[in-house]
Amino acid sequence: MKSIRKILVLLLFLFTAKVWSQVGINTENPTAMLDVNGNFRLRVAEKCIETSCADSLLVKSSGGYVQTVSKDEIFNSGGRSYVSGTGVNPTIPLVVIAGFTNWLKIAFDKELIDEHNDFDISNNTFTAPKDGIYGVFVQIKASNLVSADDLGVGIFVKKGTAAPTLMAEESYLIASVLSINVSPPVRKTQTMVALNAGDQMFFGVKTTLVSLNLVSGGSSLFNIYQIK
């Protein structure tokens, strides 16, 4: 009889433990270890072991669960595009941009940063990986100038099968005094553009010269970064 009583007590204990393994506050049907129906305030949090929770945030999942997520996981979860390049190759001929007088496509052929391989150095074109807002900057420096030549740089966007559009440019004549060029050989421009996945972007130089050499390295470069 005593043995039966012990078994019943044990079964009751196990049943109670099962029932109370999930605790609900302001709810009679908890669906997690702790289910709070309403606001809560966390006054004290235990320190993470060593640095396992460094640079982490508490977030709420779509199911209503609060969990720790690293900062990098949040900021990079969308796979945002970051591209930086330079390396204007003088051996690559500048290609005429159809529909634009005196505009030639710049042959940037060296990537410094390309998070997701969004810039193709074979055709010097950036392809948007997803819909979003993109910030763009480009700068060129010419190594050979001729007086009264119109020198400029521009940002071009091609959406789908439509013709390219010049989104931003800086262009003005090279002034000279006593046959000495007084205008700087540098042109630069920047803008923000809304792109859909698959839209393309490239850069052009405006010149009437038969040949134009651009200084590479830190003098001629571009940056593309996805803002949202």
Residue 175 CB burial class (10 angstroms; 0-12, 13-18, ≥19): exposed
Q: Identify whether the C-beta of residue 112 lies closer than 8 Å to the C-beta of residue 202.
A: no
- pLDDT tens for residues 181-217? 546 788 999 999 999 999 999 999 898 776 677 777 7
- The whole-number average pLDDT for the span 137-166 is 84
Q: Where in the chain is the domain with CATH 2.60.120.40?
A: 82-226
pLDDT at 159: 93
Task: Supply the DSSP string of 90-145, one letter for each residue.
Answer: TTSPPEE-TTSTTEEE--EEEEEEETTS-EETTTTEEE-SSSEEEEEEEEEEBS--
Indicate whether 177 pLDDT > 50.
no
- The whole-number average pLDDT for the span 45-66 is 60
Does 82-226 carry CATH code 2.60.120.40? Answer: yes
- The whole-number average pLDDT for the span 18-40 is 76
Pairing verdict, β 82-88 and 221-226: antiparallel
Q: Which of 114, 94, 115 is nearest to 103 (CA)?
A: 94
Q: Identify whether the C-beta of residue 88 lies closer than 8 Å to the C-beta of residue 220.
A: yes
pLDDT at 70: 64
DSSP 3-state assignment of 53? coil
- The whole-number average pLDDT for the span 76-88 is 79
The Cα-based distances of 224 to 51, 193, 219 in angstroms read 33, 10, 17
The pTM of the full predicted model, rounded to 2 decimals, is: 0.64
Least reliable range by pLDDT among 44-48, 133-137, 185-189, 194-198: 44-48
Task: Supply the DSSP string of 54-71, one letter for each residue.
Answer: TTEEEEE-TTS-EEEEEH
Least reliable range by pLDDT among 17-31, 113-127, 190-204: 17-31
pLDDT at 126: 96
Residues 6+ apart with CB under 8 A from 7: none
Q: Identify whether the C-beta of residue 225 lies closer than 8 Å to the C-beta of residue 81.
A: yes
The Cα-based distances of 189 to 104, 136, 156, 184, 197 in angstroms read 16, 8, 12, 14, 24
Pairing verdict, β 34-36 and 23-25: parallel
Residues of the chain with pLDDT > 90: what percent? Answer: 30
- The whole-number average pLDDT for the span 42-71 is 60
- The whole-number average pLDDT for the span 147-153 is 74
